[in-house]
């Protein structure tokens, strides 16, 4: 347990609650449940500390689920230590600019040509080749219930197809705009669904939609 002394008291409390919730219920808590249990009113602050726990090797996060948390070192014994150490070797992926999680954002001219690189943990790529992954900074709050806040970084696997329910970076060709939403096919249209209780989906003609990639993971670099 010595390693946990390097965590803040708030992060230890969050990790302890997640462990207790999984042990009691068989599944992880939501970001709002974590905040309520640990006395944190801001979901962004909870999100920040969860990503600190990811970087420290204690958690994995699944972007597609509001309960997308997984303990990676609940047992810090013989088997746990090796897996955590291997997950701490950083990989570099391309940082390609901003993406809107709110109203669609005009795509930057240099989005595909950015030379900026971002260090990430292999565990955040879920076995995907780093060359197939790029990072985008989120603007807006439309995906807040998927634990993605304004300023967060999403790691996206490059692909041109998606299944219903995938969280994707989607380029709308007729508007030259890009947005981050859940993807659903509805006949000749595509429904781009936010994860926010007061925001409405965007309906787009399927011929005007180009998928840029599917979200693998989420991280936050700054408060």
158 Cβ partners below 8 Å, 6+ apart? Answer: 132, 133, 134, 212, 213
181 belongs to the catalytic site: yes
DSSP string, 150-217: TT-EEEEEE-S---TT-EEEEEETTTTEEEEEEEEEETTEEEEE-SSTTPPPEEEEGGGEEEEEEEEE
Q: Which of 142, 149, 175, 176 is catalytic?
A: 142
- Cβ atoms of 184 and 190 within 8 Å: the answer is yes
SS3 95: strand
Q: How far apart are CA 208 and CA 177, in angstroms?
A: 11
SS3 27: coil
Q: Which of 44, 52, 139, 181 is catalytic?
A: 181
- Cβ atoms of 146 and 41 within 8 Å: the answer is no
Residues with a known catalytic role: 142, 181
């Amino acid at each position: 347990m010595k390693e946990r002394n390097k965590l803040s008291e708030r992060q230890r409390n969050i990790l302890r609650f997640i462990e207790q919730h999984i042990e009691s219920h068989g599944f992880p808590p939501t970001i709002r449940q974590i905040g309520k249990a640990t006395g944190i009113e801001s979901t962004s602050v909870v999100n920040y500390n969860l990503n600190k726990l990811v970087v420290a090797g204690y958690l994995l996060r699944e972007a597609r689920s509001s309960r997308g948390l997984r303990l990676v070192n609940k047992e810090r014994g013989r088997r746990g230590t090796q897996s955590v150490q291997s997950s701490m070797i950083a990989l570099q992926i391309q940082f390609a600019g901003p993406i809107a999680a709110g109203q669609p954002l005009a795509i930057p001219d240099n989005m595909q040509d950015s030379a900026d690189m971002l260090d990430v943990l292999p565990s955040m790529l879920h076995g995907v080749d780093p060359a197939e992954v790029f990072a985008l900074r989120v603007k807006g709050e439309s995906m807040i219930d998927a634990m993605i806040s304004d300023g967060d970084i999403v790691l996206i696997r490059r692909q041109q197809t998606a299944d219903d329910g995938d969280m994707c970076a989607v380029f709308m060709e007729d508007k030259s705009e890009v947005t981050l939403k859940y993807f659903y096919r509805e006949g000749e249209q595509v429904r781009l669904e936010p994860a926010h209780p007061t925001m409405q989906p965007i309906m787009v003609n399927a011929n005007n939609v180009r998928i840029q990639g599917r979200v693998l993971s989420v991280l936050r670099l700054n408060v």
